[in-house]
């Protein structure tokens, strides 16, 4: 054995020496052999140092199984792993890409109170970032900050890129600021990322400041940086700054080409900054960049929009001199600009120039005829058509259609009919638009038979055509006739037309007519299309005819082709609205049986329905199921899931859903941010709540009353009444009228902070502004008075309510009883309790429970027991009240009565239990080995 060489040194080597030798072993096999030899020596004793050294060697070699076995052996030996040992394991898992095990082990360390070093955190985060597990990396980042460890530049850069990629732009900006405050200098890539992010958030001044700071730091902007800044200026409407940045770009050596300049010209033209566009165009000319006709065409459009038609035409002269006037497209583009603004004179001039140049084509004539049609210039249009035919250009469908529209609008129906016939003679087929225009004209002049004939010639009548039929029908029909357009409509009708007519009737809410059409569709043996089925189901739902909707849906199931997902979702939603949840679940199950895969809409509908019924586990199960089968969730579905978790109190689940939403790169809506504000408020995370509100408030949608209400409540819970009041004032400034909920949230914020004078003033303000305080408002204030040790003030509100015409109920009296109990005034608490009889409410179980509980809390066991014994016969005592009574008896030394109460409890199916000690949970990672039995006291592992 190789370790035989160690025999002469056994007596001379101490434990520390052996650890040094172990650390110097080059291979994991040698380290394992030496450690086994080391354990046989007299100086050896199990130590975290030796085990940690061996864990590090195994980890570097990728022997994770040996490392885990060593960890189990370490625990069996009674050696508790420390931060260094745990860090070795974490680095090993990270090095060898065991991500799930890494996170499991990390969670176990945290539960044991062990905090990895900053180096280990960096290793883990970098590894997870490379694996694109962004949410896990961000979770570790947040823990690192909580532990107040110092991130380095690389870590900051990674986190900023992750946040930006995940759409958490505000957090990325905040992290960048923290990075600067920590003394780290960003590189060009980070500057570009944050400048672009600030531009997206609409914080253009900050983008500019950062851009200037970047240059101060000696970082030379690249072409990418300049491009970002030009886009930021464009969004901000600071087009002069964009031009200045372009000039700076040129001075720095990043030369813009003709395409960039054309884009800037178009940008200025859309913004109405015609002079600035002219300057850019002149600069292009100076730089010799006017080499393409597109540049001139862009400038011509700008001049035309500015009304400078003569100057626009001059560009054509310049282009002709330079030989750039080579295509009809340039001429037609300019002509189209004049037609669009309705300038007949200038359009005619351009048209004449094109004719003289021989550049006029069918597009040119089409533009001009469209212009004449717009102003009903019939004679000019007819002359132009004659010229067109003389020049040998044949009219196309667009020109014929323009003439039909012109004649129809001028009530020249016969001429419109002749144009359609000429079109047919030329081998062209009138499209639906042309026929519909002519059919409408026939209807206006009472030529119903011709309108009917034209309608039946449509192979696929569109919505406009069907609408025209219905319009004509309404003008000539009597109540007994469903189809008034002659005998043809009484004959068998094409099912497609029936579906379209059904859709129109259902959209108009005409149930009787829609049902007649539906019956005729069934008689014809046709299938109802999805749109018609959905409209009919919704129509039945609005009329409260759920059984009819159900019957219609069931009839669709009998067909060869099952309903589409759209129809299934509509029926499920109707079931949920009608509180027929079991029926909704039945339809959902039937959908899967028929091979229809549910989508995000289905999930959102059912999760919302489950939540309303308090079936939170079913809602969570459906979300997991959707994720498992790969359903692409949308914003609405995630919002529904967030709200369901929030309502059920599963805050961790809500955070996980939000994390999944960010991982899926789903854009949050205004409702998402409102829910997040409420979530962070419940978590006590004011900073993230403020961030969510600011992002929402700076968006195009902006914060609504609900968001303001949630944020005011959040400030109140955090003890920040000033910020709550400022936000309330900001909301009023924006024109929002506060409702009772918002007033209550602000009042609660004042009351929590002990600002009762402000709270009382707010009561007066509510009455003055037409939103008088309700019983809930007074209840909030009573609760606050009680928590601040002001029971008399809480009691005064009972009288104030009565003066205002409100009648306190048992909830209000309960708060006053609790308020007196909090300060030990038990006699006053009893007085308020017995007042329940005099005010006509009667003694109430909740108030009774509060009364005896405060006696228990203040050690008045005998008095509390007497109250219970005197009054308990008046109530149906529940388990909680029995428990309080037992504790009162025990406190008063009445063991016999306590035992008797326990027997009564047992007889009612209850049991009295002493409060058990709270067991410390054992992380699953510590129980990896099969021979480690589960324990309930983690302290035993350190013995």
| HEC string for 46-93 | CCHHHHHHHHHHHHHHCCHHHHHHHHHHHHHCCCCCCHHHHHHHHHHH
Whether pLDDT at 936 is above 60 = no
Q: What pLDDT, in 10s, does the model give residues 525-568?
A: 778 888 888 888 888 888 888 888 888 888 887 656 678 888 88
Q: What pLDDT, in 10s, does the model give residues 166-177?
A: 778 888 888 888
Q: Which of 364, 310, 302 is nearest to 339 (CA)?
A: 364
Domain boundaries, the chain: 432-473, 844-917
Q: What is the pLDDT of residue 931?
A: 32
Neighbours of 352 (CB within 10 A): 11
Element (H, E) at 799: helix 791-803
Whether pLDDT at 857 is above 70 = yes
Query: Is residue 12 very low, low, confident or very high in pLDDT (cuts 50, 70, 90)?
Result: low
Token pair belonging to 20: 């040094």
Q: Is residue 685 within 8 Å of residue 711, measured between CB atoms?
A: no
Q: Is residue 172 within 8 Å of residue 197, measured between CB atoms?
A: yes
Token pair belonging to 73: 């052996």
Q: What pLDDT, in 10s, does the model give residues 786-806?
A: 888 899 999 998 888 888 888
Mean pLDDT of 759-771: 86
Q: For the CA atoms of 841, 845, 850, 853, what is the dihedral angle to 10 degrees?
A: 150
- What residues contact 304, with CB distance under 8 A and at least 6 apart? 312, 334, 337, 338, 341
> Mapping DSSP to helix (H, G, I), strand (E, B) and coil, where does residue 410 land?
coil
Whether pLDDT at 265 is above 70 = yes
Burial of 680 (0-12, 13-18, 19+ CB in 10 A): buried
In this structure, the chain runs to a length of: 943
Whether pLDDT at 589 is above 60 = yes
Q: What is the pLDDT of residue 816?
A: 92
Whether pLDDT at 6 is above 60 = no
Token pair belonging to 747: 């009042």
Q: What is the pLDDT of residue 471?
A: 55
Whether pLDDT at 628 is above 60 = yes
Burial of 379 (0-12, 13-18, 19+ CB in 10 A): exposed
- CA dist 169 and 935 (Å) reads 45
Q: How many Å is the Cα radius of gyration of the chain?
A: 40
- What residues contact 798, with CB distance under 8 A and at least 6 apart? 808, 812, 813, 816
Q: Which of 352, 390, 391 is nearest to 368 (CA)?
A: 352
Helices (H), 322-343: 328-341
Least confident of 3-17, 650-664, 787-801, 917-931: 917-931
Determine if residue 458 is left, alpha or beta; phi over 0 gives left, psi from -120 to 50 gives alpha, anything else beta. beta
Neighbours of 415 (CB within 10 A): 17
- CA dist 792 and 800 (Å) reads 12
> Mapping DSSP to helix (H, G, I), strand (E, B) and coil, where does residue 840 land?
coil
Burial of 568 (0-12, 13-18, 19+ CB in 10 A): buried
- CA dist 396 and 427 (Å) reads 10
Least confident of 10-19, 649-658, 684-693, 866-875: 10-19
Q: Which residue has the tokens 């960890």?
A: 71
Q: Which of 235, 182, 192 is nearest to 215 (CA)?
A: 192
- CA dist 638 and 647 (Å) reads 14
Token pair belonging to 460: 């696929």
Q: What is the pLDDT of residue 50?
A: 67
Q: What is the pLDDT of residue 77?
A: 66
């Amino acid at each position: 054995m190789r370790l035989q060489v160690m025999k002469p040194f056994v007596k001379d080597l101490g434990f520390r020496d052996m650890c040094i030798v172990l650390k110097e072993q080059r291979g994991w096999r040698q380290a394992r052999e030496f450690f086994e030899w080391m354990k046989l020596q007299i100086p050896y004793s199990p130590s975290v140092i030796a085990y940690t050294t061996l864990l590090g060697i195994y980890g570097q070699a990728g022997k994770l199984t040996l490392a885990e076995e060593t960890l189990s052996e370490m625990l069996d030996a009674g050696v508790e792993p420390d931060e260094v040992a745990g860090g070795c394991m974490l680095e090993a898992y990270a090095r060898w890409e065991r991500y799930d095990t890494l996170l499991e082990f990390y969670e176990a360390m945290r539960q044991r109170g062990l905090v990895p070093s900053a180096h280990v955190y960096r290793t883990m985060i970098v590894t997870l970032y490379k694996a694109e597990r962004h949410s896990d990396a961000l979770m570790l980042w947040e823990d690192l900050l909580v532990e107040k460890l110092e991130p380095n530049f690389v870590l900051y850069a990674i986190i900023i890129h992750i946040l930006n990629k995940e759409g958490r732009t505000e957090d990325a900006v905040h992290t960048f600021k923290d990075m600067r405050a920590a003394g780290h200098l960003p590189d060009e890539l980070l500057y570009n990322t944050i400048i672009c992010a600030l531009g997206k958030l609409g914080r253009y001044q900050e983008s500019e400041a950062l851009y200037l700071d970047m240059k101060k730091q000696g970082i030379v902007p690249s072409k990418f940086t300049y491009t970002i800044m030009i886009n930021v200026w464009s969004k901000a409407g600071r087009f002069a700054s964009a031009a200045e940045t372009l000039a700076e770009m040129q001075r720095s050596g990043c030369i813009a080409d003709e395409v960039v300049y054309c884009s800037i010209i178009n940008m200025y033209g859309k913004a109405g900054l015609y002079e600035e566009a002219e300057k850019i165009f002149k600069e292009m000319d100076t730089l010799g960049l006017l080499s393409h006709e597109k540049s001139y065409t862009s400038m011509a459009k700008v001049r035309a929009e500015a009304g400078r038609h003569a100057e626009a035409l001059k560009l054509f002269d310049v282009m002709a001199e330079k030989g750039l006037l080579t295509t009809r497209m340039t001429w037609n583009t300019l002509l189209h600009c004049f037609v669009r603004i309705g300038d007949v004179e200038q359009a005619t001039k351009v048209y004449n120039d094109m004719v003289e140049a021989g550049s006029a084509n069918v597009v040119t004539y089409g533009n001009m005829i469209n212009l004449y049609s717009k102003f009903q210039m019939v004679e000019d249009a007819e002359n132009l058509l004659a010229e067109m035919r003389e020049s040998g250009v044949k009219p196309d469908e667009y020109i014929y259609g323009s003439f039909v529209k012109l004649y129809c609008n001028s009530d020249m129906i016969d001429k419109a009919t002749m144009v359609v016939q000429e079109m047919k003679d030329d081998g062209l087929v009138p499209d639906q638009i042309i026929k519909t225009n002519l059919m409408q004209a026939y209807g206006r002049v009472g030529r119903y038979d011709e309108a009917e004939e034209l309608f039946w010639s449509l192979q696929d009548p569109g919505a406009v055509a069907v609408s025209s039929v219905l319009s004509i029908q309404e003008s000539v029909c009597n109540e007994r006739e469903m189809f008034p357009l002659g005998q043809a409509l009484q004959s068998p009708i094409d099912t497609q037309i029936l579906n379209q007519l059904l859709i129109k009737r259902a959209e108009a809410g005409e149930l009787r007519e829609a049902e007649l059409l539906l019956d005729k569709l069934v008689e014809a043996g046709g299938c109802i299309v999805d749109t018609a089925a959905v409209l009919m189901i919704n129509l039945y739902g609005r009329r409260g005819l759920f059984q009819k909707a159900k019957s219609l849906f069931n009839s669709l199931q009998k067909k060869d082709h099952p309903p589409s997902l759209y129809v299934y979702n509509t029926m499920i939603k109707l079931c949920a609205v009608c509180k027929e949840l079991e029926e909704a679940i039945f339809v959902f199950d039937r959908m899967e049986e028929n091979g229809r895969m549910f989508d995000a809409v289905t999930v959102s509908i059912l999760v919302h329905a489950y939540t309303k019924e308090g079936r939170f586990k079913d809602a969570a199960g459906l979300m997991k199921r959707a994720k498992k089968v790969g359903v692409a969730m949308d914003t609405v579905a995630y919002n529904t899931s967030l709200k369901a978790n929030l309502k059920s109190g599963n805050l961790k689940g809500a955070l996980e859903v939000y994390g999944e939403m960010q991982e899926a790169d789903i854009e949050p809506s205004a409702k998402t941010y409102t829910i997040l504000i409420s979530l962070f408020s419940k978590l006590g995370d004011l900073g993230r709540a403020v961030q969510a509100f600011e992002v929402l408030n700076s968006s195009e949608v902006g914060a609504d009353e609900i968001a303001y209400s949630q944020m005011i409540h959040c400030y109140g819970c955090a003890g920040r009444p000033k910020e709550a009041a400022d936000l309330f004032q900001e909301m009023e400034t924006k024109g929002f009228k506060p409702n009772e909920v918002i007033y209550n949230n602000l009042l609660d914020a004042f009351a929590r902070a002990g600002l009762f004078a402000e709270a009382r003033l707010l009561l007066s303000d509510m009455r003055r502004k037409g939103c008088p305080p309700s019983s809930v408002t007074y209840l909030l204030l009573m609760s606050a008075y009680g928590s601040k040790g002001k029971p008399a003030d809480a009691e005064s509100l009972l009288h104030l309510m009565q003066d205002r015409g409100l009648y306190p109920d048992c909830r209000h009296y309960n708060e006053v009883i609790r308020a007196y109990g909090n300060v030990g005034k038990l006699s006053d608490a009893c007085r308020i309790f017995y007042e329940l009889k005099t005010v006509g409410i009667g003694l109430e179980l909740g108030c009774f429970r509060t009364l005896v509980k405060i006696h228990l809390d203040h050690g008045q066991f005998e008095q509390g027991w007497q109250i219970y014994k005197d009054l308990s016969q008046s109530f149906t005592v529940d388990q909680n009240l029995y428990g309080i009574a037992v504790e009162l008896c025990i406190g008063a030394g009445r063991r016999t009565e306590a035992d008797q109460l326990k027997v009564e409890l047992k007889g009612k199916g209850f049991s009295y239990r002493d409060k058990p000690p709270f067991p410390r949970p054992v992380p699953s990672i510590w129980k990896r080995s099969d021979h480690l039995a589960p324990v309930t006291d983690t302290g035993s592992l350190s013995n």
